[in-house]
Amino acid sequence: MTPIRGRLVALEGIDGCGKSTQAHRLVAALIELGHGAVTFREPGDSEFGRELRRVFVEGRDITPEEEMRLFLEDRRIDVRDNIEPALAAGQHVVMDRYYLSSVAYQGVLGLDPQMVRATNEAIAPRPDLTIILDLPVDIALRRIAAARGQANSFEGREYLEKVRKSYLGFASEKDIETVDATEHPDDVHRALLVLAQRLLGADADQVRR
């Protein structure tokens, strides 16, 4: 019997909002509740993803167009090798960043957001649910400083303010939800789990509190 295709959930938001922590917690909770689930991060571990992480650390020395190309190539590999096989096998996939990040971040750099989105949606499946973890930039920068001691090239205050505004511009779409990331991590986790359970057709009252 062919497995029922899994669902795709993308966690998005500015740096410091807690996406990685929450992605792992959400997957662990779904597995505990009896679902098959896995998380992948972007950029990934391809040569293109490694080049992007170098840019993050050393500073932008490439054009926005080249940055977009690197993200597209890395995402193409991620979809082919990770996302699609997992979904086809019936696993629910939780993304730690996905293509809405490209729309927000590269859009702020001057690329046409609609073009960036259309180009990505031509190679990557649209999420069944996107959750934006919204966080004021001042708090994000404090968290980044506490975790790493300094920001990278993607984390300047003015830049992040524009990226946050871009993200919030998507909040009215029917398959996009916004969660307040200033709340305690446990409360954020519970909110994400309720949204995921709703997507999977479960009764939210069954969510563990």
**Domain at 92, CATH number:** 3.40.50.300
Backbone φ, ψ for residue 112 (5° rounding): -70, 115
Q: Is residue 141 part of a domain?
A: yes
Q: Is residue 39 part of a domain?
A: yes
Q: What is the pLDDT of residue 2?
A: 72
Q: What is the pLDDT of residue 154?
A: 55
Instruction: Find out whether 6 and 82 touch, Cβ atoms under 8 Å.
Output: no
Is the pLDDT at 15 greater than 50, yes or no? yes
Q: What is the DSSP letter of 80?
A: I
**pTM (predicted TM-score):** 0.90
Lowest mean pLDDT among 42-46, 63-67, 183-187, 204-208: 204-208
Residue with tokens 């708090």: 139
> What is the number of domains present in the chain?
1
72's tokens: 């597209």
Q: Is residue 205 part of a domain?
A: no
Q: What is the pLDDT of residue 204?
A: 38
Question: What average pLDDT does the segment 178-189 reach?
Answer: 97
Q: Is residue 75 part of a domain?
A: yes
Residue 193 pLDDT grade (very low, low, confident, very high; cuts 50, 70, 90)? very high
pLDDT digits (tens, 9 = 90+) for 130-161: 999 999 999 999 988 887 665 554 568 898 99
Q: Which domain holds residue 70?
A: 8-200
In three-state secondary structure terms, 158 is helix
Q: What is the pLDDT of residue 206?
A: 43
Lowest mean pLDDT among 17-26, 104-113, 147-156: 147-156
If DSSP states are collapsed to H, E and C, what string results for 111-151? CCHHHHHHHHHCCCCCCCEEEEEECCHHHHHHHHHHHHCCC
| Residue 141, number of CB atoms within 10 A of its CB | 19
Q: Is residue 206 part of a domain?
A: no
